[in-house]
Structure 1
Amino acid sequence: MEMKPFKIAIPEQQLHDLSNRLKQVRWPSRFSEEPWALGTDHSFLKRLVDYWSSEYNWREQEARLNRFPQYIENVDGFDIHFVHVRGEGVSSRPMLLTHGWPGSFVEMLELIPYLTTPSLYGGQAEDAFDVIIPSLPGFAFSSKPTQPGVGSKYVATLWAKLMDRLGYERYFVQGGDIGAGVSTWLAFIYPERVRGLHLNYIPGSYRPPLTQNTPSMSKEERTYLDSVAEWSEREGAYSALHRTKPETLAFALSDSPAGLASWMLEKFRGWSDCKGNIESSFSLDHILTNISIYWFTNTIASSMRIYTEGGKMPLHFTEGQRITVPTGVSVFPKELPMPPQSWVERVYHVTYWEEADKGGHFAAMEQPKLLAEHLHRFIHSIN
């Protein structure tokens, strides 16, 4: 069916407002044992804000984003923004990609050419995909939820209806971060629709059933749970705040572009394979385009609320419940704590497992070619 085309067009007034705010930042006092030790580094953030204010060109980035075909479709009362790029050839298969936080649809765009036009990168045209990248409700140009209940499970039902309307009866799904939870729910609820599930992260709330009828935890699995506890103690404050008191933080981040950048920038550095130098993984333009979309759409509050919904309905399985869809997992070395294969296999039907030698949490942005290669190998392994 025909979808409503969409073009990004940020009003000039918003650009002027952002420029004025960036020129009037009130900087906190500096105190740190070493750069980044206590959070976002003062010097780097100041350089980023200066670049944002004086050199970054939103209109250039807006034009770049608008080269990708984008649409808006109302699904269950939500206006869902999505990118839809057809693959080369006549036999391309649908691939639904779901982003996470603090990413957006922008983090998945680098993957598109490797999936839609593989013949340009040493592959075959018959391996092409139609790529669909929706923006989660409350993110970017999709509607903001106004009532509770819009968590990963509910989003999976929205995505299934969207794919119906696009005319795709069966499709592959891929995700990391929140997108991994949405993709998992899709495979669990609609196994007859999902041909294959690929994850580069195992949802943080995922817990398999551990009963007297299931195998005892291995040493490797216990070590993994210890690493999760240690990581949560050291790095998990943001998630706890998002789950419990997101509105308190939202007032500050919705009012200050420098504050918003600080909150998100620290994650892009800490969760990527940048070896301490964030610009080795992302350009300043890539970082600021993602942050600018949050700013212009004023979606930091609504994006954080999906954590609250995830806390209400974590991805737990009862004994006997399984993901029956063939599942591929790509493990990137600087990802957040990832469980061993045995832990994942307690519920997921793992048919493909590959460990990469580089990359982190934002694999689609950091290593799009490598992630695409994993995806192609996974699909070949089940077809």
Structure 2
Amino acid sequence: MRVSLAKLFALGVLAGSSQASPVQPQHTPQVHPFTVNLSSRVPRMLEQIRSTQLLSQPVYIDTGNANGITLHDLKSFQKQWLTAFNWESEQKEINKFKHYTTLIEGLTIHFVHEKSNATDAIPLVLLHGWPGSFLEFIPIIEELTKQATTASGKKVSFDVIVPSLPGFAFSSAPPVNWTFPDSARLINTLVTQVLHYDTYALFGTDIGGGIGWELYDQYNTTVRAAHLAFLPFLPLNSAQLDAQNITLNSLEAFEESVTTEWSTTGEGYFLEHTTKSNTTKPNTIGLALQDNAVGQLAWIGEKFLNWSDPSAGSAPSILTHHEILRHVSLYYLTESFASSVVIYAQNPQGFSSAYRKARTDAPLLFSAFKYNVGFWPPALVAQTGNLVLYNNHNFGGHFPGLDNPPALLGDLREIGNYWK
């Protein structure tokens, strides 16, 4: 079933459509088991991929990936999608996890909930960003539920909750002007009122880092530990760091250069999604690619390629081209591309230049990865919360659950050292 333009407006997917008012639940929302079944939409996707004709030569001089995804890469992806990728197999693997939906504030929210056998397991919420999804954390969910030890030998395991953010995958598109604080409120309701956890920990990256920090700041009696890989504060350039007397080691200096390069040449998508000027409109890109499988591959695939470690796909990374196709397939088959990109327009001030400290004494942990597009040294992270642990990894990028799963897994387990 295709989503009509009228339905997109009715759902509030398109920026500028009618405003809806969030309603707090009057009773505990019901939880419904959910099975991923997108099989009926696969023929349409395959027909689109097969019928898309790509130029035999680029219309500009090939400069590698400096100008975006290359024609060679796009053709390679297209061939692999048709000959070596099977959504039925992917769907079967995805359904090995326990999926659920619930209704909060009039929105259907999809989430994965995997529980540990340990009676003292820590509830842990994992928050993705764009162009990510709950799939980012599939490689580490099962391991997180197992009892393990922290670096200091303390036993730790987790009950893992992975929501699909509003407008992503199987979660409803939110109303217009739905902000990071709105998503934070919804996630807190999910964990405390639907799943009945009194306290919990969280991890967030990309937009999930912004939502995670809002939870850490606003819900300080329920969020008792936060672990982030991305902050809702704009990174500082070298001159700004110097002005704060923050010195960098060689790895940090490299990471700062990656962020500077991204802010100079790599944030065009961000401006397009954010509606910051008369020339950038998220509805345009959203509608242009909503029913265009190869177009979504070009737009999303380029981000996975350019924001990850150059050795992506080599251990410990599992971010192969196959994994990228799985993510793009999920976006296309769930018809969530247009509703996902407007999250930036809904949060034009989502990433602030004014640093402030969260109103909590809960511990904050942070993981940095060499090729992430945003870099914050420990001194900056400490300005945003009660920083107790900062780990900087020489391998990985913007998608740590795929770029370097063992490192992220180890860092998350360190929450056990600070959990009370």
- Which deviates more from structure 2 when the two are superposed, residues 265-274 or residues 341-350? 341-350
Counterpart residue number, 1:160: 188
CA contact (8 A) 2:312 2:403 kept: no
Q: Partner amino acid for 1:231?
A: W
Q: Which residue of 2 aligns with 1:235?
A: 266
Which letter maps to 1:86? K
Amino acid across the alignment from 1:25:
T
Is contact 1:88-1:125 (8 Å) kept? no
Of 154-163 and 255-264, more deviation after overlay is shown by 255-264
2:35 maps to a residue whose letter is K
State TM-score, norm by structure 1: 0.89
CA distance in 2, matches of 1:102, 1:312: 19
Q: Deviations along 1:215-263, whole A, 9 cap, x unmatched?
A: 9622549x89897555322111010001011111112211221110011
1:273 maps to 309
Mark the CA change 1:364 to 1:319 in structure 2 (over 3 Å): closer, same or farther: closer
**CA pair 39-206 structure 1, distance change in 2 beyond 3 A:** closer
Structure 2 residue 31 is the aligned partner of structure 1 residue 3: yes
- 1:47 equivalent to 2:76? Answer yes
Change (3 A) 1:138 1:174: same
**SS of residue matched to 2:120:** coil
> In the superposition, relative to structure 1, how do residues 120 and 58 fare at CA in structure 2: closer, same or farther (>3 Å)?
farther
Q: Which residue matches 2:52? A: 25
Question: Would you say the 8 A contact 1:332–1:363 is kept in 2?
Answer: yes
Supply the distance in 1 between the matched residues of 2:349 and 2:381 (Cα, whole angstroms).
Answer: 22
User: Which structure 1 residue ranges, 5 or more long, are not aligned?
Assistant: 208-214
Tell me how many residue pairs correspond in the alignment.
373
Specify the alignment match of 2:300 in structure 1: 264
Deviation per CA, 1:30-89: give whole Å up to 9, x if none.
133333231101111111111112221100100110110000010111100000000122
1:79-136 per-position Cα deviation (integer Å, ceiling 9, x unaligned): 0000000012222110000001111000111111221014599998941100000000
Query: 1:355 — aligned with what?
Result: 392
Give the whole-Å Cα distance in 2 for the aligned partners of 1:320 and 1:140.
Answer: 32
| Residue ranges of structure 2 left out of the alignment (5+ in a row) | 1-27, 237-241, 276-280
In 2, Cα distance between the equivalents of 1:225 and 1:315?
Answer: 18
CA deviation profile, 1:338-360 (whole Å, cap 9, x unmatched): 12211222232111111112111
Displacement of 1:274? 2.6
- Give TM-score, length-normalised by structure 2: 0.82
| Greater per-residue helix proportion | 1
Deviations, residues 119-163 of structure 1 (Å, cap 9, x unaligned): 599998941100000000000000012x32222111000000001
Deviates more, 1:28-37 or 1:122-131: 122-131
> Is 1:127 matched with 2:156?
yes
Cα distance, 1:203 vs. partner?
A: 2.6
Structural mapping, 1:1-383, within 5 Å: 3-12=31-40, 14-28=41-55, 29-30=57-58, 31-119=60-148, 126-145=155-174, 147-164=175-192, 165-205=194-234, 217-218=244-245, 220=247, 228=259, 230-244=261-275, 245-275=281-311, 281-315=318-352, 322-381=359-418, 383=420
Residues 259 and 196 from structure 1, CA distance in 2 versus in 1: closer, same or farther, beyond 3 angstroms?
same
My pick for the range that moved more, 342-351 or 94-103, is: 342-351
Q: 2:185 and 2:122 mapped to 1: Cα distance?
A: 20
Could you say if the C-alpha distance between residues 47 and 160 of structure 1 is closer, same or farther in structure 2, counting changes exceeding 3 Å? same
Give the distance between the partners of 1:126 and 1:219, measured in 2 at CA: 36
Does structure 1 retain, via aligned residues, the 8 Å contact 2:232–2:350? no
Aligned equivalents of 1:373 and 1:278: distance in 2? 19
- Distance in 1, matches of 2:153 and 2:327, equals 32
Partner secondary structure for residue 137 of structure 1: coil
Structure-2 change in CA distance of 1:230 and 1:20 (3 Å): closer
Structure 1 Cα separation of the partners of residues 153 and 332 of structure 2: 40
Structure 2 vs 1, CA of residues 153 and 374 (structure 1 numbering), >3 Å: closer, same or farther? same
Partner amino acid for 1:303? S
Pairwise CA distance, 1:367: 1.5
Q: 1:186 to 1:35 in 2, by over 3 A?
A: same
SS across alignment from 1:108: helix
- Contact conserved, 1:196 with 1:379, CA < 8 A, in 2? no
Q: Give the SS at the match of 2:347.
A: helix
**TM-superposition CA deviations, 1:326-375 (whole Å, max 9, x none):** 10011111111312211222232111111112111100112112111111
Name the aligned partner's letter for residue 61 of structure 2: S
Alpha-carbon separation, structure 1, partners of 2:147 and 2:122: 13
- Taking only aligned residues, the RMSD between alpha carbons, in angstroms, comes to 2.8
Percent identity (aligned): 29
